[in-house]
Amino acid sequence: MTRAGVRDDPPEPAAPEAVPTHCPYCALQCGMWLGQDASGTVHVRPRDLPPNRGGLCAKGRTAAELLSPAHRLTTPLVRRAPGAPLEPATWDEALARVAERTVALRRDDGPDAVAVFGGGGLTNEKAYLLGKFARTVLGTSRIDYNGRFCMSSAAAAGTRAFGLDRGLPFPLEDLEGAGAVLLVGANPAETMPPFMRHLHRQREAGGALVVVDPRRTATAEEATLHLRPRVGTDLALACGLLHLAVAEGLTDDAYIARRTTGFHQARDSVAEFWPERVERITGVPVADQRRAVRLLAAAERAHVLTARGAEQHSKGTDTVTAFINLALALGLPGTPGSGYGCLTGQGNGQGGREHGQKADQLPGYRRLDDPAARAHVAAVWGVPEHTLPAPGPSAFELLDSLGTEGGPRGLLVLGSNPVVSAPHAGRVTDRLRALDLLVVADVVLSETARLADVVLPVAQWAEEDGTMTNLEGRVIRRRRLLPPPPGVRTDLEVLAALSRLLGHDRGFPSDPHAVFTELREASRGGPADYSGISYERIDAEHGVFWPCPSQEDGAGTPRMFTDAFAHADGRARFVPVEDRPLAEEPDDAYPVLLTTGRSAAHYQSGAQTRRVTSLTAREPEVYAEIHPDLAARHGLTDGGPVRLVSRRGTVRAVTRVVPAAPLDTVFVPFHWGGEGRVNSLTHAALDPVSRMPEFKACAVRLEPL
Amino acid sequence: MKHVVIVGNGMAGHRVATRVHAARPEWDVTVVGAEPHAAYNRVLLTNLLAGRPDAERLTLPWPDGLPAPLTGHRATAIDRAARSVVLADGRELRWDRLVLATGANPVLPPVKGLVSDDGHLHPDAVAFRTLDDCRRIADLASRRRRAIVLGGGLLGLEAARGLAARGLEVHVVHAMGHLMERQLDPGAGAALAGALAELGVTCWTGAQAARVLGGGRMRGLVLADGRHVPGDFLVVSCGARPDTQLAAAAGLTTARGVVVDDHLRTSAPDVYAVGDCAEHRGVAHGLVEPAWEQARIAAEALTDGDPGPGYTGSAPLTRLKAEGLDLAAMGDVEAEEAHPDAEVLHFSHSGRHVYQRIVVRGERVVGAVLLGDAAPAGPLSRLYLTGARIPLDRRLLLFPGLAAGAQDTEPSDAVVCRCAHVTAEAIRRSRSEGARDTADVARRTHATTGCGGCRSAVERLLTEG
Q: What is the ipTM of this complex?
A: 0.85
pLDDT reported for residue A687: 96
pLDDT reported for residue B45: 87
Q: Which residue intervals of chain A bear CATH 2.40.40.20?
A: 592-704
pLDDT reported for residue A4: 38
Query: How many contacts, defined by CB atoms under 8 Å, are there between A and B?
Result: 153
Indicate if the pLDDT at residue A27 is higher than 80: yes
Question: Cβ separation of A600 and B377 shorter than 8 Å?
Answer: no
CB A686 within 8 A of CB A314: yes
Mean pLDDT of A285-301: 96
Strand order through the sheet with B343-349:
B317-319, B327-330, B364-371, B354-361, B343-349
Assess B208–A contact: CB distance below 8 Å, yes or no.
no
Digit-coded pLDDT (tens) for A504-521: 999 999 999 999 999 999
pLDDT reported for residue A15: 62
Task: Please compute Rg for chain B using Cα positions.
Answer: 29
Antiparallel, parallel or unpaired: β B317-319 and B327-330? antiparallel
Q: A428 or B63, which is more confident?
A: A428
| E strand intervals along A638-684 | 641-645, 650-657, 665-669
Indicate if the pLDDT at residue A7 is higher than 60: no
Angle at the Cα of A415 from the Cα atoms of A412 and A418, rounded to 5 degrees: 75
Mean pLDDT is lowest, of A690-694, B322-326, B376-380, for B322-326
Longest dimension (CA), chain B: 99
Mean pLDDT of A385-389: 97
Measuring CA to CA, which residue among A217, A213, A378 is closest to residue A306? Answer: A213
Indicate if the pLDDT at residue B405 is higher than 60: no
Structural domains of chain B, ranges and CATH numbers in brackets: 3-105+241-302 (3.50.50.60), 125-238 (3.50.50.60), 326-405 (3.30.390.30), 411-463 (1.10.10.1100)
Measure the CA–CA gap between A413 and A398, rounded to whole angstroms: 12
Out of B52, B444, B453, closest to residue A200 by CB = B453
Question: Cβ separation of B446 and A248 shorter than 8 Å?
Answer: no
Indicate if the pLDDT at residue B332 is higher than 70: yes
Digit-coded pLDDT (tens) for B333-371: 989 999 999 999 999 998 889 999 999 999 999 999 999
pLDDT reported for residue B223: 97
How many percent of chain B have pLDDT more than 70? 97
- Confidence class for position A12, pLDDT limits 50, 70, 90: very low
pLDDT reported for residue A8: 36
Which residues between 375 and 414 in chain A have a beta carbon less than 8 angstroms from any beta carbon of chain B? none
Average pLDDT, chain A: 95
Digit-coded pLDDT (tens) for A452-504: 999 999 999 999 999 999 999 999 999 999 999 999 999 999 999 999 999 99
Write b or e for each residue in B368-401: b if 16 or more Cβ atoms lie within 10 A of its Cβ, otherwise e: bbbbbbbbbbbbbbbbbbeeebbbebeebbbebe
Measuring CA to CA, which residue among A455, A426, A429, A423 is closest to residue A442? Answer: A455
What is the value of pTM for the model shown? 0.91
Assess B255–A contact: CB distance below 8 Å, yes or no.
no
* Coil vs helix vs strand at B456: helix
Question: Cβ separation of B450 and A627 shorter than 8 Å?
Answer: no
Measuring CA to CA, which residue among A629, A701, A700 is closest to residue A662? Answer: A629
CATH of A152-342, one of 3.30.70.890, 3.40.228.10, 3.30.470.20, 3.60.150.10: 3.40.228.10
- Report the CATH fold assignment for A77-143+350-415+430-545: Rossmann fold (3.40.50)
Digit-coded pLDDT (tens) for B73-106: 999 999 999 999 999 999 999 999 999 999 999 9
Mean pLDDT of B182-191: 93
Cα distance from N-terminal residue to C-terminal residue, chain B: 85
| E strand intervals along A213-250 | 225-227
Digit-coded pLDDT (tens) for A596-618: 999 999 999 999 999 999 999 99
Indicate if the pLDDT at residue A169 is higher than 90: yes
pLDDT reported for residue B315: 85
Mean pLDDT of A206-230: 96
Question: Cβ separation of B453 and A194 shorter than 8 Å?
Answer: no
pLDDT reported for residue A14: 52
Digit-coded pLDDT (tens) for B250-275: 999 999 999 999 999 999 999 999 99
Assess A703–B contact: CB distance below 8 Å, yes or no.
no
- Confidence class for position B44, pLDDT limits 50, 70, 90: confident
CB A492 within 8 A of CB A129: yes
* Coil vs helix vs strand at A291: helix
Digit-coded pLDDT (tens) for A93-125: 999 999 999 999 999 999 999 999 999 999 999
- Confidence class for position B411, pLDDT limits 50, 70, 90: low
Nearest CA-CA distance, residue B277 and chain A, Å: 21
Mean pLDDT is lowest, of A68-72, A186-190, A304-308, B11-15, for A68-72
Average pLDDT, chain B: 91
Which residues between 310 and 349 in chain B have a beta carbon less than 8 angstroms from any beta carbon of chain A? 317, 319, 321, 323, 326
Q: Which residue intervals of chain A bear CATH 3.40.50.740?
A: 77-143+350-415+430-545
Nearest CA-CA distance, residue A13 and chain B, Å: 12
Residues in chain A: 705
Out of A197, A272, A600, closest to residue B418 by CB = A600
Assess A663–B contact: CB distance below 8 Å, yes or no.
yes
What are the CA-CA distances from residue A15 to residues A19, A44, A346, A478, B439 (Å)?
9, 11, 29, 18, 19
Indicate if the pLDDT at residue B316 is higher than 60: yes
pLDDT reported for residue B406: 47
Residues of chain A with Cβ-Cβ distance to B391 below 8 Å are 627, 629, 663
Digit-coded pLDDT (tens) for A250-284: 999 999 999 999 999 999 889 889 999 999 999 99
- Confidence class for position A412, pLDDT limits 50, 70, 90: very high
* Coil vs helix vs strand at B460: helix
Mean pLDDT of B370-382: 87
- Confidence class for position A388, pLDDT limits 50, 70, 90: very high
- Confidence class for position B56, pLDDT limits 50, 70, 90: low
pLDDT reported for residue B409: 44
Q: Which residue intervals of chain A bear CATH 3.40.228.10?
A: 152-342
Residues of chain B with Cβ-Cβ distance to A609 below 8 Å are none
How many percent of chain B have pLDDT more than 90? 70
Mean pLDDT is lowest, of A209-213, A423-427, B183-187, B406-410, for B406-410
Q: Is the dihedral of CA B280, B281, B286, B291 positive or negative?
A: negative
Q: Is residue A241 packed enough to be buried (19+ CB in 10 Å), middle (13-18) or exposed (0-12)?
A: buried
Which residues between 602 and 621 in chain A have a beta carbon less than 8 angstroms from any beta carbon of chain B? 618
Digit-coded pLDDT (tens) for A564-575: 999 999 999 999
Nearest CA-CA distance, residue A108 and chain B, Å: 45
CATH of A19-71, one of 2.60.120.200, 2.20.25.90, 3.30.390.30, 3.20.20.60: 2.20.25.90
Q: Which residue intervals of chain A bear CATH 2.20.25.90?
A: 19-71
The answer for residues whose C-beta is within 8 angstroms of residue B30's C-beta and 6 or more apart is B3, B4, B5, B6, B67, B69, B70, B93
Question: Cβ separation of B450 and A11 shorter than 8 Å?
Answer: no
Task: Indicate the DSSP class of residue A353.
Answer: G
In angstroms, how far is CA A358 from the centroid of its own chain? 13
CB A700 within 8 A of CB A681: yes
Which residues between 376 and 405 in chain B have a beta carbon less than 8 angstroms from any beta carbon of chain A? 377-379, 381-382, 385, 388-389, 391-393, 396, 403-404
The answer for residues whose C-beta is within 8 angstroms of residue A338's C-beta and 6 or more apart is A174, A178, A301, A302, A303, A331, A332
Q: A124-132 vs A491-501: helix axis angle to the nearest 10?
A: 20
Out of B62, B317, B452, closest to residue A196 by CB = B452
Nearest CA-CA distance, residue A352 and chain B, Å: 26
Digit-coded pLDDT (tens) for A574-584: 999 999 999 99
Indicate if the pLDDT at residue A58 is higher than 60: yes
- Confidence class for position B130, pLDDT limits 50, 70, 90: very high
Assess B412–A contact: CB distance below 8 Å, yes or no.
no
Compute how many other C-beta atoms are within 10 angstroms of the C-beta atom of residue B119.
6
Element (H, E) at A439: strand A437-442
In angstroms, how far is CA A589 from the centroid of its own chain? 33
Residues of chain A with Cβ-Cβ distance to B414 below 8 Å are none
Question: Cβ separation of A247 and B403 shorter than 8 Å?
Answer: no
Digit-coded pLDDT (tens) for B440-463: 999 899 999 998 888 888 988 998
Mean pLDDT of A621-639: 95
Question: Cβ separation of A285 and B374 shorter than 8 Å?
Answer: yes
Indicate if the pLDDT at residue B6 is higher than 80: yes
> A592-704 architecture in CATH?
Beta Barrel (2.40)
- Confidence class for position B420, pLDDT limits 50, 70, 90: confident
* Coil vs helix vs strand at A63: helix
Residues of chain B with Cβ-Cβ distance to A55 below 8 Å are 419, 449-452
Which residues between 270 and 289 in chain A have a beta carbon less than 8 angstroms from any beta carbon of chain B? 271-272, 274-277, 279-280, 282-288
Measure the CA–CA gap between A527 and B328, rounded to whole angstroms: 51
pLDDT reported for residue A81: 93
Residues of chain B with Cβ-Cβ distance to A282 below 8 Å are 378
Residues of chain A with Cβ-Cβ distance to B47 below 8 Å are 247
- Confidence class for position A10, pLDDT limits 50, 70, 90: very low
The answer for residues whose C-beta is within 8 angstroms of residue A74's C-beta and 6 or more apart is A457, A485, A486, A487, A488
Cis-peptide into A547, omega within 30 deg? yes
Alpha helices in A383-503 (DSSP H): 395-401, 418-421, 425-433, 447-450, 491-501
Residues of chain B with Cβ-Cβ distance to A288 below 8 Å are 374
CB B52 within 8 A of CB A249: yes
pLDDT reported for residue B359: 96
Mean pLDDT of B165-184: 95
How many percent of chain A have pLDDT more than 70? 98
Mean pLDDT of B118-137: 93
